[in-house]
C-alpha cells in the first residue's frame, strides 16, 4: 500500500503545464506528482536533489495511469487515514468486479479534501489498520468507555492514527439477584450496593461482583460477612481478557494512562471516571507505541 503520511508531499500539475517533467524544478517536500490529463490522472513517484525550496529533478516512476486511477466524487476528510483506506478498498473492489475485456485493474483512488487538497491511496490494505478492543462492562448502558470512544471516533479525532475499534462488553446483569452485591447503585441492577445499602452479616449466600477495591470496602464495613466473590477486575477477569490490543477501565488511579500486557496483548488502562480528553490521550499513546 502507498498512502502518503501527509498530503504536502504530493504535487499537482496539468499535462499542458508539465510537458517535460525532466526540465522542471521540484518543490523540496514533493515525493509524488499527480498529473491531471484529459482522460483523468497519472501518478508518479519522483526523486530530486540539491538544496533549497526548489530542487533539481533526477528521476520519476509511473505508479498508475488514467485507467488504473479512480477519483472519489465526494469530498472527504483526507486526514482520516482509516476512512480513506476503507473507502478506497471498497471503491476498487466494486470497480474491478465490473471490469471486463482485458481492461486494466484499478489500483488507486484519489481523494479531494474539504480544503480542496488532494491525496491518494494505492493498493489499499485494510489489514494495516490497527484494531483496538474496547473492553467495558454494563449496565449502566451504554457503557461509558465504549460510548466515549465511539463519540470521539465520530469526531475524526483519531484520523491520523490509522486505527479502528471493536468492542468486548460484559453484561453484569447475569449475576443479579437479591443476594448479589454490586459496588455502585448507578448500574440499576437488582441486588445490594456498597454505596447505598446495609448488609446483614447474619445472612449467608451473598455474592460480591466487583474487584479488589470492593473487597477491601466490604471487609472494612462487614468484617464477619460471609460471601462468594466474582472478580470482575478488567485486568484479571477471564470475561474481560483481551485477545488483541485494548483499552479498558480500572478504579485504581495509579494504573491510569499506563500500558500493560494482559494475555499477551498490550493495551492501555484509563481510570473508571476518565473523561474524553484523558481517553483520547491514552488511545493516542497506545497507538503510537504499537506502531513504532
Residue 15 shares a structural domain with residue 80: yes
Please write the tens of the pLDDT for every residue from 110-159. 999 999 999 999 999 999 999 999 999 999 889 999 999 999 999 999 99
The CA-based angle 43-77-136, given to 5 degrees, is 125
Residue 106 shares a structural domain with residue 137: no
Residue 115 shares a structural domain with residue 134: no
> Which set of grid coordinates corresponds to residue 226?
460471609
Q: Is residue 197 part of a domain?
A: yes
Q: What is the pLDDT of residue 83?
A: 97
Residue 64 shares a structural domain with residue 135: no
Please write the tens of the pLDDT for every residue from 104-119. 999 999 999 999 999 9
Q: What is the pLDDT of residue 119?
A: 98
Question: Domain containing 144: what range?
Answer: 129-292
Contacts 24+ apart (CB under 8 A), 230-233: 230/175, 232/137, 232/170, 232/172
Q: Is residue 1 part of a domain?
A: no
Q: Is residue 110 part of a domain?
A: yes
Domain count, the chain: 2
Which percentage of the chain shows pLDDT scores above 70? 97
Band (52; pLDDT cuts 50, 70, 90): confident
Please write the tens of the pLDDT for every residue from 73-90. 999 999 999 999 999 999
Residue 29 shares a structural domain with residue 155: no
Q: What is the pLDDT of residue 78?
A: 96
263's torsion region: left (phi>0), alpha (psi -120 to 50) or beta? left
- How is the beta sheet containing 40-49 ordered, strand by strand? 10-14, 32-37, 40-49, 54-64, 25-27
Q: Give how far Cα 153 sits from Cα of 1, 17, 80, 284, Å.
A: 23, 41, 10, 12
Q: What is the pLDDT of residue 110?
A: 98
pTM for this entry: 0.88
Residue 168 shares a structural domain with residue 185: yes
Residue 17 has pLDDT above 80, yes or no: no
Q: State the pairing for strand pair 130-138/32-37.
A: unpaired
Residue 165 shares a structural domain with residue 236: yes
> Which set of grid coordinates corresponds to residue 165?
475499534
Q: Is residue 102 part of a domain?
A: yes
Residue 241 shares a structural domain with residue 204: yes
Domain final position from 124, 153, 176: 124
Band (23; pLDDT cuts 50, 70, 90): low
Q: Is residue 2 part of a domain?
A: no
Q: Is residue 17 part of a domain?
A: yes
Q: Say if residue 131 is exposed, middle or buried (CB neighbours under 10 Å; 0-12, 13-18, 19+).
A: middle
Amino acid at each position: 500500500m502507498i498512502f502518503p503520511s501527509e498530503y504536502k508531499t504530493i504535487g499537482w500539475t496539468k499535462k499542458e503545464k508539465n510537458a517535460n517533467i525532466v526540465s522542471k524544478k521540484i518543490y523540496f517536500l514533493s515525493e509524488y506528482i499527480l498529473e491531471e490529463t484529459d482522460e483523468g490522472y497519472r501518478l508518479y513517484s519522483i526523486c530530486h536533489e540539491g538544496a533549497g525550496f526548489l530542487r533539481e529533478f533526477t528521476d520519476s516512476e509511473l505508479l498508475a495511469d488514467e485507467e488504473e486511477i479512480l477519483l472519489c466524487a465526494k469530498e472527504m476528510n483526507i486526514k482520516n487515514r482509516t476512512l480513506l483506506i476503507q473507502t478506497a478498498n471498497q471503491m476498487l473492489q466494486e470497480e474491478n468486479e465490473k471490469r471486463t475485456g482485458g481492461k486494466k485493474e484499478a489500483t488507486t483512488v484519489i481523494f479531494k479534501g474539504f480544503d480542496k487538497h488532494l491525496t491518494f491511496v494505492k493498493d489499499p490494505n485494510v489489514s494495516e489498520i490497527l484494531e483496538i478492543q474496547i473492553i467495558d462492562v454494563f449496565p449502566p448502558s451504554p457503557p461509558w468507555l465504549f460510548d466515549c470512544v465511539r463519540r470521539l471516533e465520530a469526531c475524526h479525532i483519531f484520523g491520523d492514527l490509522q486505527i479502528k475499534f471493536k468492542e468486548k462488553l460484559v453484561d453484569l446483569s447475569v449475576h443479579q439477584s437479591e443476594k448479589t452485591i454490586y459496588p455502585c447503585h448507578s448500574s440499576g441492577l437488582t441486588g445490594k450496593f456498597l454505596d447505598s445499602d446495609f448488609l446483614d452479616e447474619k445472612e449467608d449466600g451473598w455474592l460480591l461482583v466487583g474487584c479488589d477495591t470492593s473487597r477491601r470496602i466490604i471487609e472494612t464495613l462487614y468484617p464477619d460477612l460471609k460471601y462468594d466473590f466474582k472478580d470482575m477486575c478488567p485486568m484479571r477477569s477471564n470475561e474481560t481478557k483481551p485477545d488483541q490490543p485494548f483499552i479498558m477501565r480500572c478504579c485504581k488511579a495509579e494504573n491510569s494512562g499506563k500500558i500493560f500486557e494482559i494475555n499477551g496483548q498490550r493495551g492501555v488502562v484509563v481510570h473508571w471516571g476518565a473523561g474524553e480528553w484523558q481517553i483520547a490521550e491514552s488511545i493516542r499513546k497506545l497507538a503510537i507505541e504499537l506502531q513504532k
